[in-house]
Structure 1
């Protein structure tokens, strides 16, 4: 049986990078990269256009926008505000033509994940910072929000199946039936292929979300097909697989082995192995002892806390037009 080397990632930009060259020549996929003038944020837009692109990328047809902000891990209010403003701008761009500025537009924000597990708590923490407005309509009537040109914003933390015994999709279907939102924004923690992207990359997509896919824990997808209304997803990678770390460092290991006479033969042997064989060799050595491991940074608690404010501010700016103080 042929082994296929695969390092899990939820990021379309990392799938694009796995192809030869700059990834811009993939059939059925378009690529655009840019920096705004004076901005410290790198923007990448990957559009999967058809079934060919879908098959090549392993992700559904749609638009994937990535904000790469290397300084997000630092406590810099001006920088986080810049990221929030860029996130708001990209949310508005994805919603262009959907008349989301109308007073009776209703967006439901779903904070996915487990609030008790720090790397998986991004969604619930964003909801803790979210300014909801639907209760004002319920309490004061339809004209209250319309008179202030405010959209209807509601939020839910559906928890995880181990806590509720229900899929997030099942819970959201019930809420959709009762409250009839126009759009869902799902916030979730993601898995990355590269350590450098942990806590510094935000992915925004109009394709919905597939909870747990990056760590091999597949749950029912949250998409327009499954829920009946458009689903936008915002995610930040907070974990990386141990196998991915090994894959990132294997070339350095080969170099170190090859530079010493006593280990040169071993370095040459490993260097001649294909990526699949290198991966399987390390997997055979590590997994019987440690199992499948996922790694998160030591400062993840502070990182998730800061990111939750940055993302909630982006949502406020997109729909309310002002920052929440």
Structure 2
């Protein structure tokens, strides 16, 4: 199974050399990097707000500004039609980001350049009986847009990034890749036009959550031991922080478990769970989907709105 839909997490988990440029804007971090894919360079932009909460409208406004700026950089085509595709299953809340964006754009359609914008909600193959790529390709061949913007819900490998992270790329997207339901990719190779994919992680696997919480507990325990000699260990800042520390010093308490690498602990949990895994999502995912879909509609109206009449 692909560990994550977030390319930044995959790069962080490998030893491959991909220079990552990072900029900090208050609480928002913007990361950009490129990966060679056959004969082209794929560009990736990640925008993250680690402390984002669904009620923080000010933070969402700040995110919208950064997303608009980065999208304009990726959207280099200034002429021709733009096909906006909302991928996902609107009956499944965690997977409904793409469909909700299209539904809300349809309500705002008069504010768009209608002769230039194509809105498409293909659903999933279980609903339509067609591969999503075949559906989109048929529209592309008929309507001949210059570029496709594809929005989708993604899978994260890190629980803390759920609904607090945006990925944008010109590398296209492979629907369902994060949950072992791989479909044909939406890409220049399959559609014949550039594809910009934008997504927010809304699900994470129980395997990832379990091993991260256990790692956190071990780090927490180690911090407590290190703070034991302080005047008030419970008040120590280090006691409450989870850091990437060497846990081998805990081997006398936790045995071989403390000597394992993160991946070895993850594999151990997987094997002892009967090689099963589940996908989970935040309990307030409906609120997150509504907030993010509102944000993306605002961004698209800004990027694609009709010029004001003179």
In the superposition, the TM-score normalised over structure 1's length comes to 0.78
> Which aligned pairs between 1:201-220 and structure 2 lie closer than 5 A?
201-220=165-184
- Residue matched to 1:280: 267
Displacement after TM superposition at 1:269 (Å): 1.8
- Residue matched to 2:105: 130
- Residue matched to 1:319: 304
- Residue matched to 2:161: 197
Q: Distance in 1 between matches of 2:292 and 2:150?
A: 15
Unaligned stretches of 5+ in structure 2?
226-249
Displacement after TM superposition at 1:7 (Å): 6.8
- Among 51, 54, 73, the residue aligned to 2:53: 73
Q: Distance in 2 between matches of 1:182 and 1:233?
A: 15
Does residue 304 (structure 1) correspond to residue 275 (structure 2)? The answer is: no
- Among 2, 5, 20, the residue aligned to 1:10: 5
- Residue matched to 1:57: none
**What SS does the corresponding residue of 1:210 show, helix, strand or coil?**
coil
Displacement after TM superposition at 1:257 (Å): 8.6
Q: Could you say if the C-alpha distance between residues 281 and 78 of structure 1 is closer, same or farther in structure 2, counting changes exceeding 3 Å?
A: closer
> Which aligned pairs between 1:175-190 and structure 2 lie closer than 5 A?
175-190=139-154
Q: Could you say if the C-alpha distance between residues 106 and 298 of structure 1 is closer, same or farther in structure 2, counting changes exceeding 3 Å?
A: same
- Residue matched to 1:140: none
**What SS does the corresponding residue of 1:278 show, helix, strand or coil?**
helix
Deviations 1:136-181 (CA, angstroms, capped at 9, x unpaired): 99xxxxxxx6xxxx76111111011111111110101111121111
Q: Distance in 1 between matches of 2:133 and 2:286?
A: 27
Contact kept, 8 Å, 2:2 with 2:178, in 1: the verdict is no
Q: Distance in 1 between matches of 2:110 and 2:134?
A: 23
> Which aligned pairs between 1:233-244 and structure 2 lie closer than 5 A?
233-244=197-208
Q: Distance in 2 between matches of 1:305 and 1:207?
A: 26
Displacement after TM superposition at 1:242 (Å): 1.2
> Which aligned pairs between 1:157-176 and structure 2 lie closer than 5 A?
157-176=121-140
Q: Distance in 2 between matches of 1:279 and 1:13?
A: 20
CA RMSD for the aligned pairs? 3.1
Unaligned stretches of 5+ in structure 1?
1-5, 21-25, 55-59, 138-144
- Among 99, 112, 119, the residue aligned to 2:87: 112
Displacement after TM superposition at 1:61 (Å): 4.0
Deviations 1:165-221 (CA, angstroms, capped at 9, x unpaired): 111101011111211111110000000011111001010101100111111111110
- Residue matched to 1:221: 185
Contact kept, 8 Å, 2:203 with 2:281, in 1: the verdict is yes
Q: Distance in 2 between matches of 1:136 and 1:246?
A: 46
- Residue matched to 2:28: 41
Displacement after TM superposition at 1:95 (Å): 2.3
In the superposition, the TM-score normalised over structure 2's length comes to 0.81
- Among 258, 264, 267, the residue aligned to 1:271: 258
Q: Distance in 2 between matches of 1:292 and 1:239?
A: 13
Q: Distance in 1 between matches of 2:54 and 2:220?
A: 33
- Among 205, 215, 222, the residue aligned to 1:251: 215
Q: Distance in 2 between matches of 1:266 and 1:286?
A: 23
- Residue matched to 1:230: 194
Displacement after TM superposition at 1:280 (Å): 2.6
Contact kept, 8 Å, 1:257 with 1:266, in 2: the verdict is no
